[in-house]
Structure 1
Amino acid sequence: MISVYIDLAIGLVLAFLLLSLLVSGINEAFVRLFGIRSKFLWAYLRDTMDGGPREGGSWIPEKIADVFAKLPFSKNDPRPRHDSEPAPPVIEPVPVDAAAALASDTPARPVDMTGRLYERLQEIDRPKAARTSIANIPPERFSGAMLELVSAEEGGVEGLIAKLEAIGSPLAGHLRGVWEGAQRDMVRFRQGVEAWFDGEMQRLSMLYRRYVKWVVFALGLVLTLLFSMDALEYGKTLLRDNAYRAAVAAIASDGDGASAALKDRCAGDGAGGAIDPYACVTESFSSPALVKIFDHAVVSVTIPPDGTEDPSFNWNGGVWWDRLITPGHWPGYLISVVALMFGSTFWWDILRRLTGIRGHRS
């Protein structure tokens, strides 16, 4: 009896794993195609180093619709333009007279600090499009780039911070806090910049995952309805499949005395003709419950058993719609959507625990 429930658990986990992988694959394809992760990072850098767009506000969208509907298609791309050349060997100082800018009533002319940062990072960029594809900046690389910018200023860290304050860069306050906390020691200053930037990247990742979970929910809901994946019904199918296989095993040991279940399943179309039990068993065993998981999708695929014919695609619109509007299937749909929210990593870990598969150890 325990093995029956283990088979049920493995079947359900495997089904959720396959659907979760499909959800993750669609989401990742969309993110990579439109460079959403890279745009999200450089939008944060624009806010931190340049203070947002000229019209005000923030480069980072606030709503989920803006992140996945506006950010991918916006002409106001926050990413710097891609440059295949190595970083310039000579670093120009920030072209701002800090004293004159602070004394004047007119603000200092804008300085593209994000572009200056990209100049120090463009070696790790890969040619993909007109804009940079950098989606991750190691903290030590960021701190190294900041030290390179510091070395170009006559006053060192103090000179760079003064010019950043003159142009109204939000980065000035962060660097001043790190500089004072490091007690004006360059080694500790670099370590402080690394720690600060690492913390910012963790916060940014949490914010990004908050948006992604709604996308995963939407994709999970759409796929669950398209494939008509009723988790409760699928669990019953797994139990029936296991019971049938147990009946076949009983026939092998007890002869015809345990063949009632097999005869019921192999009754054919009711025409009363002779049924070949071997063909019936072969057909049933070659189509386990896992293969039938998507039989109720709006479009199902049938693969011939002999492999000599091409797969056939069947339109199940009528049956699919009837299942969709049947309240009895809604609890199973809800369970499927909630299960997909855990992600493929979660279900893979559960599958490894149930089957005893060990991960690769280096």
Structure 2
Amino acid sequence: MFDSTVLEVALGLTFCFCSVSLIVSSVNEGISSFLKLRGKYLLGGLKTLLNDPTGSGLVLDLYNHARLNPGGSGRAPALEQLHGLPSYVEPRQFAVALIEVLQAAAGNPGTPGDLLAAIEHVPEGQLRDVLRNMYRRAGADAQRFETEVAYWFENAMDRLSGNYKRTMQWCALLVGFALAVLMNIDALHLFKVLWEHPALMRQIDTTQLLDAHSALNNLTATSLPIGWERPPFTYQGGVLGSNYHFSEFAQMAAGWAITASSTLFGSPFWFDMLQKITHLRGTGPKAA
């Protein structure tokens, strides 16, 4: 059985990391929504997939198609004049929209039998080769070709989703570090204090982590050693002075980095870990 001190320390650190991750996830989602990152990533992915870097050809036609962008006017002369960018496109809807756009560009809209002619109308290059090969694998069957296009798009979106997640992880790391500095959430200092005073966790209700708001309230009102004991800097007589030695800042920076790194695991990971430790803790003796 684990020593109770070990469990209290593990519970305190996990509680802190879960709270920070919840706050960072909420901030990340706000940043993504404000900057419309999902829509921009989708647009960039389609430009690459359809070999249309300027977005003035097939990509623009697709964004003017009701299946792919039902919120648009359908008559935007350029991507910059679109009213909003969709953040998600269902693979089959993309496939149907692409086929209809290709047929319309070839002058034979809605004519399944002329799919090959529509593909041949695509400018020579990798895209035409890919579409031609998919059409051949489908045995010149329009329904199977649509399925091939949907599968091709889905695979491309899986890769794009991986790129988006990596970007958001970097964003989480930066936001997490900023939060750790702002609130002085030093994981190393927290570990040291909890190891010496495990009974501090008796005053913490670990069931109150419901969302970012409750997590922030718990961090600011908790008895855990979080926050600045004194301001990091003072400004007197026109001179900016530090209230901490360089070695103290270096130690805190290491603790901030650990706290920020914890956000890379995501709040679901820490919430699940918190529940497991709480259950394990309940089967053993309480801290003295």
> Given the two structures, how large is their TM-score scaled by the length of structure 2?
0.70
Structure 1 segment 232-247 matched on structure 2, within 5 A? 232-243=188-199
Q: Find the residue that maps to 1:195 and give its secondary structure.
A: helix
Q: State the one-letter code of the partner of 2:244.
A: D
CA change 1:292–1:355 in 2 (3 A) is closer
User: 2:262 — aligned with what?
Assistant: 339
Tell me if the contact between 2:186 and 2:226 (Cα under 8 Å) persists in the aligned partners: no
Q: Deviations over 1:209-228 (max 9, x none)?
A: 23232222222222222222
CA distance in 1, matches of 2:67, 2:7: 52
Distance change >3 Å, CA 333–CA 34, structure 1 → 2: closer
Task: Identify the match of residue 322 of structure 1 among 238, 244, 257.
Answer: 244
CA distance in 2, matches of 1:220, 1:244: 24
Q: Secondary structure at the match of 2:233?
A: helix
Aligned with 1:121 (options 64, 67, 75):
67
Match of 1:152 in 2: 109
Higher helix share: 2
Equivalent-residue separation in structure 1 for 2:219 and 2:173 (angstroms): 30
Q: How does 1:1-362 map to 2 (within 5 A)?
A: 2-49=3-50, 51-53=52-54, 112-118=57-63, 119-121=65-67, 124-125=70-71, 131-149=83-101, 150=103, 152=109, 156-165=114-123, 171-243=127-199, 290-296=222-228, 316-318=231-233, 322=244, 326=248, 327-356=250-279
- Match of 2:228, SS? coil
Query: Which amino acid letter does the alignment assign opposite residue 39 of structure 1?
Result: K
Separation in structure 2 between the aligned mates of residue 122 and residue 195 of structure 1, nearest angstrom: 16
- Percent identity (aligned): 25
- Rounded to whole Å, the distance in 2 between the matches of 1:293 and 1:131 is 48
2:275 partner letter = R
Shift in CA distance, 349/32, structure 1 to aligned 2, threshold 3 Å = same
Equivalent-residue separation in structure 2 for 1:18 and 1:181 (angstroms): 51
**8 Å CA contact retained: 1:51, 1:170:** no
Distance 1:37 1:339, change over 3 A: same
Q: Are residues 147 and 244 of structure 1, via their aligned partners in 2, closer, same or farther at CA, if it must alter by over 3 Å? A: closer
The amino acid of 1:238's aligned partner reads: L
3-state SS of 2:265 partner = coil
CA distance in 2, matches of 1:180, 1:172: 12
Distance 1:242 1:292, change over 3 A: closer
The structure-2 alpha-carbon separation of the partners of 1:2 and 1:126, relative to structure 1 and needing over 3 Å to count, comes to farther
Tell me if the contact between 2:180 and 2:259 (Cα under 8 Å) persists in the aligned partners.
Answer: yes
Comparing 328-337 and 195-204, the one that deviates more: 328-337
**TM-superposed deviation, 1:231:** 0.8
- Uncovered stretches (5+) of structure 1, i.e. residues with no partner: 54-77, 79-110, 247-285, 298-314, 358-362
Distance 1:245 1:194, change over 3 A: closer
Cα deviation for residue 38 of structure 1 reads: 0.4
In the alignment, the residues of structure 1 paired with residue 186 and residue 67 of structure 2 have an alpha-carbon distance, to the nearest angstrom, of 49
Distance 1:125 1:241, change over 3 A: farther
8 Å CA contact retained: 2:19, 2:219: no
Which has the greater radius of gyration? Answer: 1
Q: Which runs of 5+ in 2 are unaligned?
A: 74-80, 203-217, 235-241, 281-288
CA deviations over 1:196-240 (Å, ceiling 9, x no partner) = 111000111112223232222222222222222211211233344
Q: Is the 8 A contact 1:49 1:169 kept in 2?
A: no
TM-score by length of 1: 0.57
